[in-house]
Structure 1
Amino acid sequence: MNVLWMGMISASIVYGLISGNAQMINESILQVGKETFDFVLPLICVTSFWNGVLSIAEACGLLRKLERLLAPFLRRLLPDLKEDEQTLSYVAANVSANFFGLGSAATPFGLKAMEGMQKHNQSAHTATRSMVTFLVLNTAGVTVFSTTILALRVSFHSQMAADFMPYAVIATVFASFVGLLVDRVWNYHD
C-alpha cells in the first residue's frame, strides 16, 4: 500500500513539474500541512485532557472501583481468565476507557490484556476464545461519551456538537450486543 501511495504522490509531483505548476505544488504542500495541523491540534488537546482525567481517576481509585464492578461480568465473558487477575484488570481498564470514548488511552490496556491472554494460549498463531471475545468487546464496545467524535465536531464548528451522543450510545450498545451474541453462538458450537 505504501508503494501505491508513494507512486501516486510521485506521479502527481512529476506531472505538476512537467506542466509548469511548481508554485501550485508548493502552495498545496503548505496548505495541507496547515490544514493537518489545524485538524490534529484539537484532537491532541482533547486526548491529553481526557488521558489526564483517566490518570486522575486511576490515582484516586475510581478506575479500580470500575474494574471491580466489571469483574463479575468479565469473568463470565472470559471464563479461561478467571484466575488471571492482572489480565482481567487490563481488560476492565480497556473497557472502562472505551466506555468514555478514550480509545487512545484504551489501546495500551488492550495491548497488555492481549499479552496476558497470550500467556494462556497453547498456539502462538491462533487466537484463543478470550482473545476473540475481547476483540469483539473492544471493537464494538459501549461508548457513553465519545470524546474524539465530540472533539472533531467542535473543531469543525458544529452548532450542536453533542447531539449525536444518544445515537452513539444506542449504536454501540446494539453493536456490542450483536457482536457478543454472535461470539457466544460461535463459541457454543466449538
Structure 2
Amino acid sequence: MNLIWLLLILLALSYCLVTNQVEAVNTVLLEVGKETFDFVIPLLCAMAFWNGILYVAKEAGILHFLEQMFHPFLKRLFPDLREDKETLGLIATNIVVNMVGLGSAATPAGLKAMEGMQKHNPNKDTASRSMITFLVLNTAGVTLFSTTLIALRASFHSQNVTGFMPYAILATTFASLIGLLVDRWWNYRK
C-alpha cells in the first residue's frame, strides 16, 4: 500500500511539473499543516474531555455499576468465561466505554479482555468462540453517544451536530443484533 501511495504522490508531482502548476503544489504544502492542526485540535480537546468524564465515572463507581448490570447478559453470551469475573468485567468495561463513543479509551480494556480469554483458549493459535463473539460485539457494538462524530461535525460547523444520533443508535443496534445472531448461528451450526 505504501508503494501505491508513493506512486500516486510522484505521479501528481510529475503532472504538476509537466503542466507548470508548481504554485498549486506549494500552496497545498503550506496549507496542509494548518488544516491538519485545525482539524486535530478540536478532536483532541473532545477526547480529553470525554476521557476525563470517563475517569470521573470510574472513580464515582458508575462504570462498576454498569459493568454489574451487564454481567448476567455476558455470562450467557460467554459461557466459557462464566467463572472469570475479571475477564467479564473487562469485556463489560469495553462495551460500556464503546457505547459512549470512546473507542480509544476502550482499547486497553479490550486487549486485556482478549488476554483473559486466551487463558481459557485450548487452541492458542486459533481464536476461541468467546474471542470471536467479543470481536463481533466490539466491532458492531451499540453506540449511544458518538463523541468523535459529534466533535468532527462541530469542527466543520454542522447545522445540527447531533442530528445523526438516532440513526447511529439504530444502525449500531441493528448491526450488533445481526452480528450476534450470525455468530450464534455459526457456533451452533458446527
Q: Please say whether Structure 1 and Structure 2 have the same fold, judged by a TM-score greater than 0.5.
A: yes
Residue equivalent to 2:35:
35
1:137-164 CA-partner distances (Å, limit 9, x unpaired): 1111111111111111111111111111
1:104 to partner: Cα distance: 1.2
Residue equivalent to 2:2:
2
Tell me the SS of whatever aligns to 1:159: coil
TM-score (norm: length of structure 2)? 0.93
RMSD of aligned alpha carbons: 1.5
- Equivalent AA in structure 1 for residue 150 of structure 2: L
1:33-77 CA-partner distances (Å, limit 9, x unpaired): 222221221111111110111111111211111111111111110
Matches of 1:124 and 1:77, distance apart in 2: 21
Matches of 2:123 and 2:8, distance apart in 1: 40
1:125 to partner: Cα distance: 2.5
* Identity across matched positions, percent: 59
1:10 to partner: Cα distance: 2.7
Matches of 1:116 and 1:43, distance apart in 2: 32
Task: Note if 1:144 corresponds to 2:165.
Answer: no
1:74-116 CA-partner distances (Å, limit 9, x unpaired): 1110111112222111111100001111111111111111121
Matches of 2:62 and 2:150, distance apart in 1: 24
Matches of 1:85 and 1:12, distance apart in 2: 55
- Equivalent AA in structure 1 for residue 166 of structure 2: P
1:18 to partner: Cα distance: 4.9
1:6 to partner: Cα distance: 1.7
- Equivalent AA in structure 1 for residue 137 of structure 2: L
1:122 to partner: Cα distance: 2.3
Alignment gaps of 5+ in structure 2: none
Aligned pairs (5 A) from 1:108-147: 108-147=108-147
- Equivalent AA in structure 1 for residue 48 of structure 2: S
- Equivalent AA in structure 2 for residue 108 of structure 1: P
1:20 to partner: Cα distance: 4.0
- Equivalent AA in structure 1 for residue 174 of structure 2: F
Matches of 2:185 and 2:77, distance apart in 1: 13
Alignment gaps of 5+ in structure 1: none
Residue equivalent to 1:91:
91
Matches of 1:17 and 1:85, distance apart in 2: 63
Residue equivalent to 1:181:
181
Residue equivalent to 2:78:
78
Tell me the SS of whatever aligns to 1:187: helix
Residue equivalent to 1:56:
56
1:128 to partner: Cα distance: 0.6
Matches of 1:159 and 1:135, distance apart in 2: 35
1:12 to partner: Cα distance: 2.4
1:19 to partner: Cα distance: 4.5
Task: Note if 1:106 corresponds to 2:84.
Answer: no
